[in-house]
């Protein structure tokens, strides 16, 4: 009995101890999963870098279903985590209902820019600008004049990617054809490489010789098939050039890692109540150039893209956003 | 656009998409015909997909990978069998448990083994099922009409596709032309009668569940080592459930299972080619509608509009010898 009491006491003390020590930041991954080689993995990389540099720890959870979103938010908030960093557009609604209940907790949400809340920091990316640049590269690398786009789940964000891409393609070659397909309408579309492969094959049979995948884990199948069929692919979010050296033209980088790193570094003092959009100017988006794709990107290509990049930053060139009218001027989904 | 070639490409894609469905559907057929409902097809495929890719990556041999995949699927089958046959548990709950177990364990083990975030390394060379070219395929390639048909559609798939298609007549023969098949069907309709005849109900049901495991294992291996070059979390993406829908659609008959899965595969293939549908029908059809069609059709069948789908009578009920 005394032993039991001791154990209970020790357990209680440990529980209290962790409760007090927890000003730890928390990171909630989206349904694609922490290691999707893409969006969520970039967040993990950023958090990991913060942990290594500061020697501190963070808490994390990988969501498995929609129902867990609010649950996870509340659990971390109750446990005292601060700030709580969440990933993905799906967090918008749960956040609007949870955040007001925990006014002292700071929430950071990535890929959401349209909700309100004094204790919420919203970080958006100008994906269309980065996609525009890789679209230009696709058009320059294409020999058939037909390029493809494979999206994951059919949501405005992914159409936003596709729209910027199509504009970049048309900027280089107005006659180019852009074939756009979405993998599905449920979160399963983020992890269906088999379907990604079939979509890629279907696009190849329509003449596509460069395919851009903005599809999380599904993109693994797109890149694989592109490499098998000897055409070029474009990765997304993280640098995916290494996955099939010499076969991946480039990757559209979305520096989620930087955003997460900065948020964790700011800790409980993270600035909330506003919307931050990271574009080309802030290096929030860009394209990847490394030893794996050096042979594919010639100087002419690089010069054209860097020129376009400067123009977009200076405001001389404006890439139309899908969000503005919920439609794309050059691509019909 | 060459219409004929486009058609061939569509059908080619249909075959690729239908193969895992067909294998899983036949797997479910054996199990359910013996009176064991199995909604764990998805989980078994997933486990098999992971283990075949993982072992193929380690050993460099896709055949050892295939065996490992089948073994993994058999283990889950055994769990299902012990829970629902030996201990007479609820078959649906056991199936759900298997799905969850597979979804979690695959990622966990993959992370522990490979440290690539729940993926296996990319398979190369012999660690992957390559498409096989049938005899004379290259020779007749340029013959009009039948050349492309033979070269593109019939030839050039991985060996597992041919295994899957061969499994259809084999299943028909086993179920309807052998003593084992008769008993297996009887055990799903009226196990007491089989028992009275002095045949082991438990033994037959375990045999059916084991065959189900083997077929699911091949289906999973096809996903990760033939269609793809490696495992990605949740890569079965609901195909086990579509196979169940196809099984109902086929009313638990082997040849109809083939037609049903090919039809579902065709819908999947059409979904990747919205331009073809637009060219043929003149209207822009949403891909979502096509994706939903297999389910809609299953519901229509279940509602009794197109004939009635009557499951094996003793399905879902554990057999109790004495009351």
ipTM of the complex: 0.86
Which residue in the block uniquely carries the two structure tokens 């190849």?
Answer: A204
Mean pLDDT for A1-18 is 50
Which residue in the block uniquely carries the two structure tokens 């860009």?
Answer: A286
Cβ separation of A182 and B235 shorter than 8 Å?
no
Chain A interface, best mutation among B114, B272, B286, by max A CB count within 10 A: B272
Print pLDDT tens along chain B (323 aa). 578 888 888 999 999 999 999 999 999 999 999 999 999 999 999 999 999 999 999 999 999 999 999 999 999 999 999 999 999 999 999 999 999 999 999 989 998 898 877 788 888 888 888 888 888 777 777 777 787 788 878 888 899 999 999 999 999 999 999 999 999 999 999 999 999 999 999 999 999 999 999 999 999 999 999 998 889 888 888 899 999 989 988 889 999 999 999 998 998 888 888 888 777 777 777 767 777 777 787 787 777 666 777 888 888 888 888 75
Give the closest residue to B265 by CA, choosing from B173, B163, B166, B161: B161
pLDDT of residue B100: 94
What pLDDT, in 10s, does the model give residues B245-260?
Answer: 899 888 899 999 999 9
Cβ separation of A181 and B238 shorter than 8 Å?
no
Kind of pairing between the strands at A120-125 and A146-153 = unpaired
Chain A contact present for B143, CB below 8 A: no
Contact B211, B32 (CB under 8 A): no
Give the closest residue to A233 by CA, choosing from A332, A141, A129: A141
Give the closest residue to A327 by CA, choosing from A86, A205, A159: A159
The average confidence (pLDDT) of chain A is 88
Chain B interface, best mutation among A198, A238, A292, by max B CB count within 10 A: A198
**What pTM value is reported for the model?**
0.85
Cβ separation of B272 and A206 shorter than 8 Å?
no
* Residue B76 phi, psi dihedral angles, 5° rounding: -65, -35
pLDDT of residue B132: 84
Give the closest residue to B75 by CA, choosing from B51, B54, B39, B56: B51
Instruction: Give the full edge-to-edge strand order of the sheet including A285-287.
Output: A177-184, A146-153, A210-214, A232-237, A248-254, A285-287
Return d(Cα A280, Cα A310) in angstroms, integer. 9
Return d(Cα B27, Cα B15) in angstroms, integer. 18
Higher-pLDDT residue of A21, A84: A84
Cβ separation of A33 and B118 shorter than 8 Å?
yes
Q: How far is A17 from chain B (nearest CA, A)?
A: 29
Q: What is the DSSP string of A151-169?
A: EEE-SHHHHHHHHHHHHHH
Which residues on chain A are in Cβ contact (under 8 Å) with B234?
A: 188, 191, 217
Closest A-chain CA to B224:
A194
Q: Which helix (H) or strand (E) holds A217?
A: none
Q: How far is A181 from chain B (nearest CA, A)?
A: 7
pLDDT of residue A169: 95
Is residue A191 over pLDDT 90? Answer: no
Residues 6+ apart with CB under 8 A from B11: B153, B266, B269
Give the closest residue to A117 by CA, choosing from A102, A131, A100: A100
pLDDT of residue A8: 52
Which among B111, B119, B235 has the least Cβ separation from residue A194?
Answer: B235
Return d(Cα B188, Cα B183) in angstroms, integer. 9
Contact A73, A85 (CB under 8 A): no
Which residue in the block uniquely carries the two structure tokens 């009351």?
Answer: B323
- Give the distance between the most distant pair of CA atoms in chain A: 82
Is residue A9 over pLDDT 60? Answer: no
Give the closest residue to B68 by CA, choosing from B83, B58, B80, B78: B58
Is residue A5 over pLDDT 80? Answer: no
What pLDDT, in 10s, does the model give residues A264-319?
Answer: 988 888 888 888 899 998 888 999 999 999 899 989 999 999 999 999 999 898 99
The Cα angle at residue B21 between residues B17 and B24, in degrees rounded to 5: 150
Structure tokens at A174: 């107005």
**Residue A10 CB burial class (10 angstroms; 0-12, 13-18, ≥19):** exposed
Contact A154, A182 (CB under 8 A): yes
Q: How far is A202 from chain B (nearest CA, A)?
A: 6
Cβ separation of A35 and B111 shorter than 8 Å?
yes
Could you tell me the end-to-end alpha-carbon distance of chain A, in angstroms, rounded to an integer?
A: 69
* Residue A60 phi, psi dihedral angles, 5° rounding: -150, 155
Which residues on chain B are in Cβ contact (under 8 Å) with A185?
A: 288, 291
Give the closest residue to B228 by CA, choosing from A169, A95, A217: A217
Choice among A203-207, A242-246, B27-31, B303-307 with the minimum mean pLDDT: B303-307
| pLDDT level of residue A159 (50, 70, 90 thresholds) | very high
Give the closest residue to B51 by CA, choosing from B249, B289, B213: B213
Chain B interface, best mutation among A32, A146, A193, A332, by max B CB count within 10 A: A193
């Amino acid at each position: 009995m005394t032993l039991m009491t001791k154990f209970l006491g020790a357990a209680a003390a440990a529980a209290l101890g962790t409760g007090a020590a927890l000003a730890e930041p928390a990171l909630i991954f989206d349904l694609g999963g922490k290691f999707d080689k893409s969006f969520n993995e970039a967040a993990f990389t950023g958090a990991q870098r913060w942990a290594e540099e500061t020697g501190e720890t963070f808490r994390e959870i990988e969501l498995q279903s929609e129902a867990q979103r609010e649950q996870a938010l509340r659990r971390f908030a109750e446990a005292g985590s601060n700030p709580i960093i969440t990933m993905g557009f799906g967090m918008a609604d749960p956040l609007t209902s949870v955040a007001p209940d925990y006014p002292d907790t700071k929430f950071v949400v990535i890929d959401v820019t349209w909700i309100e809340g004094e204790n919420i920091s919203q970080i958006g990316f100008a994906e269309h600008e980065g996609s525009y640049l890789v679209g230009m590269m696709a058009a320059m690398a294409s020999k058939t004049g037909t390029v493809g786009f494979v999206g994951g789940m059919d949501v405005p964000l992914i159409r936003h990617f596709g729209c910027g891409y199509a504009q970049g393609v048309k900027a280089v070659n107005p006659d180019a054809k852009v074939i756009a397909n979405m993998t599905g309408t449920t979160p399963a579309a983020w992890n269906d490489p088999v379907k990604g492969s079939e979509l890629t094959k279907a696009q190849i049979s329509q003449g596509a010789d460069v395919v851009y995948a903005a599809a999380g884990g599904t993109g693994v199948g797109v890149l694989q098939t592109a490499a098998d069929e000897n055409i070029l692919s474009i990765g997304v979010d993280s640098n995916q050039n290494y996955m099939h050296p010499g076969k991946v033209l480039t990757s559209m980088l979305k520096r989620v890692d930087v955003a997460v790193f900065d948020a964790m570094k700011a800790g409980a003092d993270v600035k909330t109540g506003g919307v931050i959009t990271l574009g080309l100017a802030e290096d929030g988006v860009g394209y990847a150039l490394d030893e794996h794709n050096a042979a594919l990107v010639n100087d002419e290509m690089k010069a054209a893209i860097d020129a376009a990049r400067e123009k977009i930053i200076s405001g001389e060139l404006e890439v139309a956003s899908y969000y503005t009218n919920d439609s794309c001027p050059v691509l019909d989904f | 656009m060459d219409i004929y070639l486009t058609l061939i490409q569509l059908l080619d894609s249909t075959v690729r998409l239908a193969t895992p469905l067909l294998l899983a559907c036949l797997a479910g057929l054996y199990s359910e015909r013996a009176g064991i409902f199995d909604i764990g097809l998805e989980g078994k495929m997933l486990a098999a997909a992971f283990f075949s890719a993982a072992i193929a990556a380690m050993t460099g041999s896709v055949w050892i990978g295939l065996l490992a995949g089948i073994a993994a699927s058999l283990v889950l089958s055994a769990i299902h069998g012990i829970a629902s046959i030996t201990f007479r548990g609820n078959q649906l709950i056991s199936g759900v448990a298997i799905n969850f177990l597979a979804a979690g364990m695959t990622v966990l083990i993959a992370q522990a083994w490979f440290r690539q975030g729940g993926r296996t390394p990319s398979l190369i060379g012999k660690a992957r099922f390559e498409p096989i070219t049938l005899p004379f395929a290259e020779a007749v390639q340029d013959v009009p009409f039948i050349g492309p048909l033979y070269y593109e559609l019939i030839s050039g798939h991985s060996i597992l596709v041919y295994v899957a298609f061969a499994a259809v007549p084999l299943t028909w023969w086993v179920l309807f032309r052998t003593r084992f098949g008769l008993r297996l069907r009887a055990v799903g309709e009226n196990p007491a009668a089989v028992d009275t005849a002095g045949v082991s109900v438990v033994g037959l049901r375990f045999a059916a569940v084991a065959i189900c495991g083997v077929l699911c294992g091949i289906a999973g291996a096809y996903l990760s080592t033939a269609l793809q070059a490696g495992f990605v979390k949740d890569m079965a993406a609901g195909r086990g459930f579509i196979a169940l829908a196809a099984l109902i659609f086929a009313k638990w008959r082997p040849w109809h299972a083939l037609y049903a899965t090919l039809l579902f595969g065709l819908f999947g293939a059409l979904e990747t080619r919205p331009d073809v549908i637009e060219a043929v029908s003149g209207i822009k059809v949403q891909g979502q509608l096509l994706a939903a069609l297999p389910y809609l059709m299953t519901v229509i069948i279940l509602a009794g509009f197109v004939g009635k789908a009557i499951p094996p009578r003793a399905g879902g009920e554990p057999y109790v010898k004495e009351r």
